[in-house]
Amino acid sequence: MSGLAECINNINIAFSKKDHDRIIEFSRLIASQYISILDGTQRQQLGLALDEIGRIIFYIEHDYKLAAALSDLAFEIFPTPGTYNTQLLLNLHYQEYDKAWSAEKYRKQFSEEESLAESKICKTLYIYNSNGLGDLIQFMRFVPLVAQRAEKVYFHVPKNTKNVLFRSYLGENVELIEDNRQIDFTERFELFYLPQILGLREADIARKSAYVFTDSAKTMAWKGVIRRNDRPHVGIAWASVVDPRKKSIDFTDVLPLISENQGIEFIGLQNNSKKSQIELVDVPSNFTDFGVYDLANIANIIKNLDAVICIDCWVAHLSCALGIPTLIILSKHCDWRWIEPGFRSRWYESAILFRRTSDTHNDAIDDVSRYIGKIASSL
């Protein structure tokens, strides 16, 4: 075991020195020569350690190739839901959808949850979402496919979202639930895993136009509040509270964009504590905020707008799902769903992507300002 101990020690030394090549070298040596003699505890410790190192390298150092190699080794040594998810996200980042959505690998990891990839019909299905609202809006497009293979589907959604999301056609047999009441079901699936469960591939991704709809009466009521003149109206959301990828910007950073486009009425869509940044500056006369936070009212406001400017957040997903032109300002190291090159998204027809080319955001904001000016002149 001295050789194994030496390899583990060398991995720790290499990590402290950020010697990525040596990390991979000794990790592969362990996987090839010592894996058979490791007991369960040792496999767990090594697998989780490699997974954690891979995550740090992915999120902080942005060395995606090394992170992917470490993730593969971690899953090989100690396959768990955690190491599976790391590998899944890295494959999505590389746009390797067929590998990420492998139904076979999913079934091996989650043996208690069967697959619907072979047109199996189940009696009662419960779908839940353990991720954010943006993921829910993005992945709910797959619910109708699942509904075709079940007699009844219960789809658990966050509180105060049912009155908006139920207007999307998910299937006659789909019931949205917001509370935690006891549900009798034969199978349960995580929303984020529906592509694996259905056996989908990259070719099955359809660029969606509008698929979330608002109450027309409430939308019209908001129109009377918002549209008090004939100018173009553009919504704006600039910050996220949880921000590991540094995707947020400050309200002061978008002030020049607002001030330089006096022919546009800007409507605040910020839905968290960052809204308080408005109170710290002199707000231009062409900016209005209605103090709204909840999804239903924000959806009705967005439906009355000509376009939306925002960072990567759930407002971006909602605006795109409503079919509104959505200008998304992305960080230099953006999330996997926006990683493909160019200005267009493979997920949303109305998304227009603006990428920061450095750790600052001025270049992307300037591009957005010019683009929104063109939109305004065409309306």
In the prediction, which pLDDT does 115 show?
Answer: 55
* Residue 92 scores a pLDDT above 70: yes
Quickly state the pLDDT bin for 120 (edges 50, 70, 90): low
Quickly state the pLDDT bin for 173 (edges 50, 70, 90): very high
Quickly state the pLDDT bin for 306 (edges 50, 70, 90): very high
Angle 81-93/40-56 helices, nearest 10 degrees? 30
* Residue 313 scores a pLDDT above 60: yes
Angle 362-378/251-260 helices, nearest 10 degrees? 30
- The residue-averaged pLDDT of 27-45 equals 79
Range in 12-26, 172-186, 212-226, 316-330 the model is least confident about: 12-26
SS (H, E, C) the chain: CHHHHHHHHHHHHHHHCCCHHHHHHHHHHHHHHCHHHCCHHHHHHHHHHHHHHHHHHHHHHCCHHHHHHHHHHHHHHCCCHHHHHHHHHHHHHCCCHHHHCCHHHHHHHCCCCCCCCCCCCEEEEEEECCCCHHHHHHHHHHHHHHHCCEEEEEEECCCCCHHHHCCCCCCCCEEEECCCCCCCCCEEEEHHHHHHHHCCCHHHCCCECCCCCCCHHHHHHHHHHHCCCCCCEEEEECCCCCCCCCCCCCHHHHHHHHHHCCCCEEEECCCCHHHHHHHHCCCCCCEEECCCCCHHHHHHHHHCCCEEEEECCHHHHHHHHCCCCEEEEECCCCCHHHCCCCCECCCECCEEEEECCCCCCHHHHHHHHHHHHHHHHHC
Phi-psi region of 323 (alpha: psi -120 to 50; beta: other; left: phi over 0): left
Cα separation, 370 vs 324, whole angstroms? 18
Domains annotated for the chain, with CATH where assigned, are 2-94 (1.25.40), 122-204 (no CATH), 216-378 (3.40.50.2000)
* Residue 116 scores a pLDDT above 70: no
Question: Percentage of residues in the chain with pLDDT exceeding 70?
Answer: 95
Structure tokens at 294: 């909840």
* Residue 117 scores a pLDDT above 70: no
* Residue 113 scores a pLDDT above 70: no
Range in 79-83, 144-148, 242-246, 283-287 the model is least confident about: 242-246
- The residue-averaged pLDDT of 65-70 equals 82
Cα separation, 145 vs 206, whole angstroms? 13
Prediction pTM value: 0.88
Cα separation, 152 vs 131, whole angstroms? 23
Question: Percentage of residues in the chain with pLDDT exceeding 90?
Answer: 44
* Residue 141 scores a pLDDT above 70: yes
The mean predicted confidence, pLDDT, of the chain is: 87
In the prediction, which pLDDT does 32 show?
Answer: 78
In the prediction, which pLDDT does 5 show?
Answer: 79
Quickly state the pLDDT bin for 340 (edges 50, 70, 90): confident
Quickly state the pLDDT bin for 375 (edges 50, 70, 90): confident
Cα separation, 17 vs 324, whole angstroms? 48
Structure tokens at 340: 């493909």
In the prediction, which pLDDT does 26 show?
Answer: 81
- The residue-averaged pLDDT of 239-267 equals 88
Cα separation, 252 vs 279, whole angstroms? 11
Quickly state the pLDDT bin for 244 (edges 50, 70, 90): low
End-to-end Cα spacing for the chain: 72
Residue 77 neighbours by CB distance under 10 Å: 24
Quickly state the pLDDT bin for 358 (edges 50, 70, 90): confident
